[in-house]
Structure 1
Amino acid sequence: MQDTRWNEFRLCGDYNVDLRSLYMAWATPAGLEKWFLRKADFFTVPLRQRAADEQIMKEDTYTWYWHGFNNDTLQKGSILEANGQDLIKFTFSGDSVVTVKFSTRNGLTIIDLTQDNIPEESDPKKNLLVQCQIGWTFYLTNLKSVMEAGKDLRNKRVELDSCFK
């Protein structure tokens, strides 16, 4: 059996929010901008930009921009799966893959996020596994805060970017 401790991780969170609302928070540009990104641009295969409330689909590409950073700091990737109900899968940093599954249990919606295919890195400052796990932990927390309490925890000040490097 292959040792995957350094090329994948899994995080789970429970949310007192209906599954459809959480799915849409991941599956539309407007939804992602509410808790995750400053700007989320998605493009269809013929390169038409999706509207803010339009659901993403398999084979879409994206360009994402972060709060607290200028437009030079961006993430590009593609949507590998988006079934419209309970699964979204996309490429991410370093050619890794993020899979987000949604389910319900005991009256709560569960998000199960896995990031795999993370390249190994000898320099701890560049270690994607550690950096992404920290990042996703924060953003899953922010999703809970925004969706359950209406409080956004993100830094939105570009002038403070040196604090986050």
Structure 2
Amino acid sequence: MEKLSFDSFTKKIYINTTKEKLYWCWATPEGICSWFLRKAEYFSPEGEQRSKKDSMQTGDSYIWEWHNWDDQEKGQVIRTNGTDFLEISFTDSKVSVHIESQGNACLLTLKQYDIPTDEQSSLNIHYGCSNGWTFWLANLKAYLEHGILLNETERDLRNIPLVGFEFVNL
């Protein structure tokens, strides 16, 4: 067993869907906005914006915006294979997503790593993102298996001081 530490974490979930659908949910602006984001844009290394239906490519950059959060996350697509793996820079760390077919389901493995281990990063990135990804992966499962979203899009929660640490469906 790997030792637990504050520089990385792994989250896994089985989802009853196809590898192609699951990859679409992560790799395209249209897909990732269907369950996770308010807005997503991907740009080629030359700065050209990809269409909402186009998959991210290695070397691309991205801008993500969430419901109930005013800031943007900007990062780089480090690696993608177009079918079952992608890796991005994310909040001063890296995130990889691996999709593996297992019978009539897929095992999705998300790993966030290279997290700085200072106290602020341990709180905001390790604790915050670990909790966040747990919810978002459950939201993805609910969306793909039952056609429902669990995240809050009808109420504006942005003025609540600890919203990101207290609300489970941000």
- Contact 1:67–1:157 under 8 Å retained in 2: no
CA distance in 2, matches of 1:142, 1:9: 19
- Contact 1:121–1:128 under 8 Å retained in 2: no
What residue identity is the alignment partner of 1:105?
Q
Alignment of 1:162 with 2:162, yes or no, is no
Q: Deviations over 1:25-66 (max 9, x none)?
A: 101000000011100011001111110101110000001001
Sort the Cα spacing of 1:16 and 1:44 in 2 relative to 1 into closer, same or farther, 3 A.
Answer: same
- Contact 2:14–2:108 under 8 Å retained in 1: yes
Following superposition, the deviation at residue 162 of structure 1 comes to 3.2
- The 4+ residue runs of structure 1 with deviation greater than 2 A are 123-127
CA distance in 1, matches of 2:58, 2:39: 20
CA distance in 2, matches of 1:106, 1:113: 20
Determine helix, strand or coil for the equivalent of 2:10: strand
Alignment of 1:118 with 2:115, yes or no, is yes
Please give the residue correspondences for 1:1-165 in structure 2 after superposition, counting only pairs within 5 Å. 5-70=5-70, 73-94=71-92, 96-123=93-120, 126-157=123-154, 159-163=156-160, 164-165=163-164
Number of residue equivalences? 161
CA distance in 1, matches of 2:101, 2:122: 37
Following superposition, the deviation at residue 82 of structure 1 comes to 1.1
Following superposition, the deviation at residue 158 of structure 1 comes to 6.3
- Contact 1:91–1:98 under 8 Å retained in 2: yes
TM (normalized to structure 2)? Answer: 0.88
Following superposition, the deviation at residue 126 of structure 1 comes to 3.8
Following superposition, the deviation at residue 104 of structure 1 comes to 1.2
Sort the Cα spacing of 1:113 and 1:125 in 2 relative to 1 into closer, same or farther, 3 A.
Answer: closer
Q: Which runs of 5+ in 2 are unaligned?
A: 165-170
What residue identity is the alignment partner of 2:44?
T
Q: Percent identity?
A: 31
What residue identity is the alignment partner of 2:17?
V
What residue identity is the alignment partner of 1:152?
L
- Contact 1:99–1:115 under 8 Å retained in 2: yes
Following superposition, the deviation at residue 161 of structure 1 comes to 1.7
Determine helix, strand or coil for the equivalent of 2:109: strand
Determine helix, strand or coil for the equivalent of 1:127: helix
Deviates more, 1:101-110 or 1:80-89: 101-110
